[in-house]
Amino acid sequence: MERTHGVTLYVIAKQDDGWKIVVGQNTAVEASSA
């Protein structure tokens, strides 16, 4: 059985009206067999 999960990465930047997410990425990662 294949086991994967997602790892999410956000890049945020401070703007005049607060912090905003400027880039988001979700990557599938296979679980190790150990």
Q: What is the pLDDT of residue 3?
A: 80
Q: Which of 22, 4, 25 is nearest to 12 (CA)?
A: 22
Q: Using a CB cutoff of 8 Å and minimum separation of 24, what contacts does 23-32 make?
A: 28/4, 29/4, 29/5, 30/2, 30/3, 30/4, 31/3, 31/4, 31/5
Tell me the residue range of the domain where 6 lies: 1-29
Q: What is the pLDDT of residue 13?
A: 98
Number of structural domains in the chain: 1
In a domain, 4, yes or no: yes
Q: What is the pLDDT of residue 23?
A: 98
Q: What is the pLDDT of residue 1?
A: 55
In a domain, 34, yes or no: no
pTM above 0.85, yes or no: no
Q: Write out pLDDT tens, residues 1-34.
A: 568 889 999 999 999 999 999 999 999 998 776 6
Q: What is the pLDDT of residue 31?
A: 77
